[in-house]
Amino acid sequence: MPVSKVIQALEHSGASMRCSELKRLLTTLGFEVRDGKKQGHKIVTHAGLEDFYSFSYTCGHGKDPEVKRNYVRTALNAVKTHRDGLKKYLESQRQ
Taking each helix axis from N to C end, the angle separating 3-11 and 19-28, rounded to the nearest 10 degrees, works out to 160
Which domain, by its residues, includes 21? 3-94
Residue 87, amino acid: K
Q: Please give the tally of structural domains in the chain.
A: 1
Using one digit for the tens of pLDDT, what is the confidence trace for 21-74? 999 999 999 999 999 998 889 999 999 998 999 999 998 777 878 899 999 999
Using one digit for the tens of pLDDT, what is the confidence trace for 80-90? 999 999 999 99
